[in-house]
Chains A and B, each alone.
Chain A
Amino acid sequence: MSTSAGATGEALAPRELTLRIWRGDAKGGGLVDYTVEAQDGEVVLDVVHRVQATLAGDLAVRWNCKAGKCGSCSAELDGRPRLMCLARLSTFERGVPIVITPLRTFPVIRDLVTDVSFNYRKAEQVPAFQPSADQPVAPFRMAQVDVERSQEMRKCIECWLCQDTCHVIRDHDDNKPAFSGPRFFARYAELDMHPNDGLDRRRLMQEERGLGLCNITKCCTEVCPEGIKITDNAIIPMKERVVDVCYDPVRLLRRRRARG
């Protein structure tokens, strides 16, 4: 059988690499250069750890799984929101420092760690799954084809990169109270598409969670490390579905009459 396996054959020679890392806290800070040994098989997070272990023991950074499954090590690499554990050194231009800055949309706590509590507040506002009257008690019967659309959304690892890149809040702090952001539009869509959920959250999405503020530039989809088609498979379908409850002329008329 074949033993050749892509990048696995050749030896990886160590080389010097400079990371230009933002250091500081809420009061301010700046970029600091750290030069350490690195090799092509490594990812940016490996080198950040080396900086931490040898040059800056107090360098603040979040991480957990180091395999793209937990969504902890989000940062901006050369200005682009990415997971540091999936950013292979071989994909960066050699000899050029890699610039690592914290997520810009959220307030800095220290170094690469930001205050992402915005997202946890938005999560608290999501009305939970509620089984339908048809099948109130598990085990449920649901077809694979019917659960798959929601399963795509449930791949989300909550790295907050989509929230970070979304220009509705990235450049407009004042939108934050009225806008849940792409991660939570995906969550609402997932519940809406759940074959056995019995709650209608469409009006809530439109009127209180800011779905209408999204103008589908697809930036969220582009940065998603899980490849979830947030715009096409969550936001656009939800925009279509809220029309039924919010803008249906017959219903509008009925509501007006009801209000008298």
Chain B
Amino acid sequence: MTTADGDADHASEEAADTSVESDREALSGPMRSLDPRVRYVWVTQALLTAAVLGAIVGGIAYAVERLLWPGVVVFALFGLVSVLLAVARYRIWRYQVRTDSLFLDRGVFTRVRTVVPYVRIQHVDANRGPVERGAGLATVVVYTAGSRGADVTIPGLTPEDAEELQERLKRLAIVAEGEDAV
């Protein structure tokens, strides 16, 4: 009884293996960059921060010295830097859905390249903040059991892309179906 069982197990396993391989191939893709509109999201977010900062500095300067220009200068400087940063960040950002892992390449000042094996994915979120919704974009967050958990974030995806990526990662994670992560 055990012999027959074992052989059957083996055969089905092999069949599963080949289908898994083709699945993986189909699901993985080339190196991709983000949607260009993500620059507007970043710039808008930064401009909002710059506006708050400018208002604070301007308010203080006005209250103390009756000056208006410090606030404007702070806003302009911060805004300029953030625009440059957003462009640079967009040019650097790359991600790739590989056969076994998700690969991310990003960072202007500190260049960070991360490999997230599908076996390690705990769950995948798709977020849409207010600014992102305005630009028609979404963010995918991949969680692992690692101590740097929420570090793996892919911004600047169209909602369809985000959904598709979420679905694809989910399927790849199931295909990879590891042992207990912890």
Do A and B form a real pair?
no
Q: Chain A interface (Cβ within 8 Å of chain B)? A: none
Q: Chain B interface (Cβ within 8 Å of chain A)? A: none
